[in-house]
Amino acid sequence: MAKSWLWCLSLLALGHRGNCQAVAPAPLAAPCGSQHYQDSLVTRYIENGAHTYSYNDPRWTRCCDSLLAICPNVAYAYEQKAVPLIKDGKYAEAFALEDRAAALDPLKWLAYRGFLKCIFTKDYEGAITDFQQAARLKPGSREMDHTYPFFEGLCNLELGNYQRAEVNFKEDIRQQKGPGGQQAVHFNTLFYTGVLYLEMKSYAQAQAYLAQCLKAYPQHPEANYHLGLAHQAQGNKALAQRCFLAAQKALASGYRLNEDNSYYANYPRQITDYEVAQVLRGM
């Protein structure tokens, strides 16, 4: 009877939106093993708390701390507490929290941690390990709109493991096309596969993939730029210059790699006006 009374009191308290000004005291015998109870905490302290503020507002962190003071086993609260730190480049502090989230709920957060390692901290070997483990837990799944092999391919490309990257990107394309082989392939998969073949000096293949990317997204600055590099490597100065000017125009018009987190971290081979101006100046 006493346990039921405490349960009712805790749910009643959750019915009122807290302002997260201070860390909430933990209720006696809080039923933290209950998914329903955890979800109710997330609703109060994250959805109706932290998410009502900018992640740069200290109240975002206080809301996460309030939840964790009640139940320290809610993976999502650790991940959300890490968000301001990630955006601010405080990676050591952020990854201590991301590690807790991944340990508590690897199905949900292990691949996300791999994404952060790949894109934000450039820990490519660590990212590969995370994605391979995540693939064993959730075969055929995706993170940030991409397959796990896509990120493995990025990591191996940057590590210079070109044969492994080639295998990764082929698997990425296979998964995207689906069982019938008819689904569209993401333009950035085509872009990075083109970059891989450019690194391997397989210029015909590089041009083919970069052209496919540009067919899907004609203003892709990086694809135009790297197609220019492929033409330049083969001595086609006029075609190269045309591609470089297209990249310059795309950047000036506000086109980008078109990945959400490219505003917070540079994706591999992402370019700026400086690189394009330099190559044009040297022609």
Q: State the Cα–Cα distance between residues 24 and 18, nearest whole angstrom.
A: 9
The structure tokens listed for 105 are 């709920």
DSSP string covering the chain, please?
-HHHHHHHHHHHHHTS----SSPPPPPTT--TT-HHHHHHHIIIIIITTGGGS-TTSHHHHHHHHHHHHH-TT-HHHHHHHHHHHHHTT-HHHHHHHHHHHHHH-HHHHHHHHHHHIIIII--HHHHHHHHHHHHHHSTT-EETTEEHHHHHHHHHHHHT-HHHHHHHHHHHHHHHHTTTT-SPPPHHHHHHHHHHHHHTT-HHHHHHHHHHHHHH-TT-HHHHHHHHHHHHHTT-HHHHHHHHHHHHHHHHTT-----GGGGTSPPTT---HHHHHHHHHT-
Q: What is the pLDDT of residue 26?
A: 57
What is the predicted pLDDT for the residue at 11? 40
Alpha-carbon dihedral sign for residues 45, 51, 55, 57:
negative
Does 106-185 match 202-283 in CATH topology?
Answer: yes
pLDDT at 263: 85
Residue 1 pLDDT: 41
Would you say how long the chain is, in residues? 283
Residue 166 neighbours by CB under 8 Å, 6+ apart: 196, 200
The rounded distance, in Å, linking the Cα atoms of 210 and 189 is 10
Summarize pLDDT for 248-260 with one digit per residue, the tens.
999 999 999 999 8
Tell me how far the alpha carbon of residue 109 is from its chain's centroid. 12
Arch. (CATH architecture) of 202-283: Alpha Horseshoe (1.25)
pLDDT value of position 229 = 98
Domain 106-185 indexed as CATH 1.10.1040: no
Find out whether 86 and 116 touch, Cβ atoms under 8 Å.
yes
Domain boundaries, the chain: 30-104, 106-185, 202-283
Give the C-alpha separation, 240 to 283, whole Å.
9
> Domain 30-104, CATH 1.25.40 — does that match?
yes
Give residue-wise pLDDT tens across range 72-119.
Answer: 999 999 999 999 999 999 999 999 999 999 999 999 999 999 999 999
Question: pLDDT digit string (tens) for 217-273?
Answer: 999 999 999 999 999 999 999 999 999 999 999 999 999 999 989 888 999 999 999
What mean pLDDT, rounded, does the chain reach? 92
